[in-house]
Chains A and B, each alone.
Chain A
Amino acid sequence: MAEAPRMIEIQVLRYRPEQESEPVWQSYQVPFTEDMSVLQGLQYIKDEIDGSVSFRWSCRMAICGSCGMMINRKPSLSCQTFLRDLFPGPVKVEALDHLPIERDLMVSVEPFVKKLESIKPYLIPKEERTLAQGEYLQSPAQLAAFEQYSSCINCMLCYAACPQFGLNPDFTGPGVLALLHRYNADSRDGGKAERMEILNAEEGVWSCTAVGYCSEVCPKGVDPANAVNQNKINSAVDYFARFFPKKGGLI
């Protein structure tokens, strides 16, 4: 005989621009099993209770970066957060902090994407290379220098975590700066000089105050706080290196 499933209350911050001027909380009672994620809870709501609830999701396995949202005030991937851990609830679910809400749990992604595109997120060769030269060779140490920073899934949890981004949306932000660093740290890349302008700007590394919450919430261990803050040294060196002659000079 099957046991009655446990119930948990999931509160969702709703926002339908065509019908309300401000977000409003709505509560749902959801039966759940031990293996259910918050995402599955939302899917239950959408399938069985209220089809109007809107949220992004895709892979269900913490690799696509679509399902980021605030769960009990913490930026989380809903597919990787489990209802059993939040029982007895209520579970409060809102759109990612610091980003404009488009609808329900969906935020505006455009500014983030534009920033990603602006940092030249591709290998810029140090010199012209012919096909005959073959592939780049990289040692394990050279791979280790950038590998962690390449793990970003663009989920934007770090932007929801970062109060400096919340206070100033012009801040390039943790995820984009981590990606920038990923390319600078790659031994195959020669584009550091071209990316310095972004680092050196006030909206670059200098908006960061090392809160560190971005790295705390990152589901992939990218450690954007480290990527940003180690580049303060690079940016400072670049700032003062201007005053020294380059031709056969000290630097």
Chain B
Amino acid sequence: MKKRSNAPFFWLLFGAGGVLSALLGSALVLITGLATPLGLGLHSDFMSYPRMLAFSQNFIGKGFVFVVIALFAWHAAHRIFHSLHDVGIPHGTPSKIMCYGSALVMTLVAAFSLLRIGFY
């Protein structure tokens, strides 16, 4: 009897994160990493503390931030895990811990921080 792989679980996260990052990744990088810091098309206070706090305290805003961080992280972890295998680093425990472990850490830190920020 061949052993059933647990890949489907991680693959679904990879797929969801892949779709989300494919649809929103470019815009989010542009907004947060270029437009806001440079004041291009957006006011310099677009991501000011009061505004971002309000966004993250909002139930939907909080959910959005969490989903983006978590799915992006799990998508990347799964793909990097397989890419390491492609360049000669086998599917071993060290590789799994590095990749999926980092996604888990990001997920937990994001969850903790978002809960800490509180709700309205």
**Which listed segment binds B: A54-62, A177-185, A196-204?**
A196-204
Residues of A within 8 A of B7 (CB): 202, 206
**Which listed segment binds A: B8-16, B55-63, B111-119?**
B8-16
A162 to chain B, nearest CB (A): 12
B contact residues, total (Cβ < 8 Å): 14
The answer to whether the Cβ of A167 comes within 8 Å of any Cβ in the partner chain is yes
User: Which residue of chain A lies nearest to B7 when distances are taken between CB atoms in the complex?
Assistant: A206
Residues of B within 8 A of A240 (CB): 8
The answer to whether the Cβ of B85 comes within 8 Å of any Cβ in the partner chain is yes
Decide if B86 touches A200 in the complex (CB within 8 Å): no
The answer to whether the Cβ of B96 comes within 8 Å of any Cβ in the partner chain is no
Given contacts A202-B7, A204-B5, A232-B8, 12 further A-B contacts (CB under 8 A): A167-B85, A197-B4, A198-B2, A200-B2, A200-B4, A201-B3, A201-B4, A201-B5, A202-B3, A203-B2, A206-B11, A240-B8
B31 to chain A, nearest CB (A): 30
Our count of residue pairs bridging A and B at CB distance below 8 angstroms stands at 37
Convert A226-251 into 0s and 1s, putting 1 for each residue whose CB lies closer than 8 angstroms to a CB of B.
00000010011001100000000000
Decide if B3 touches A239 in the complex (CB within 8 Å): no
Residues of A within 8 A of B12 (CB): 236
Decide if B2 touches A232 in the complex (CB within 8 Å): no
B90 to chain A, nearest CB (A): 9
Residues of B within 8 A of A239 (CB): 4, 6, 8-9
Task: Give residues 70-112 of B contacting A (CB, 8 Å).
Answer: 82, 85-86
The answer to whether the Cβ of A212 comes within 8 Å of any Cβ in the partner chain is no
Task: Give residues 128-172 of A contacting B (CB, 8 Å).
Answer: 163, 167
A44 to chain B, nearest CB (A): 39
Task: Point out which of B4, B12, B82 has the most chain A C-beta atoms below 10 A from its C-beta.
Answer: B4
The answer to whether the Cβ of B29 comes within 8 Å of any Cβ in the partner chain is no
The answer to whether the Cβ of B23 comes within 8 Å of any Cβ in the partner chain is no
Decide if B82 touches A209 in the complex (CB within 8 Å): yes
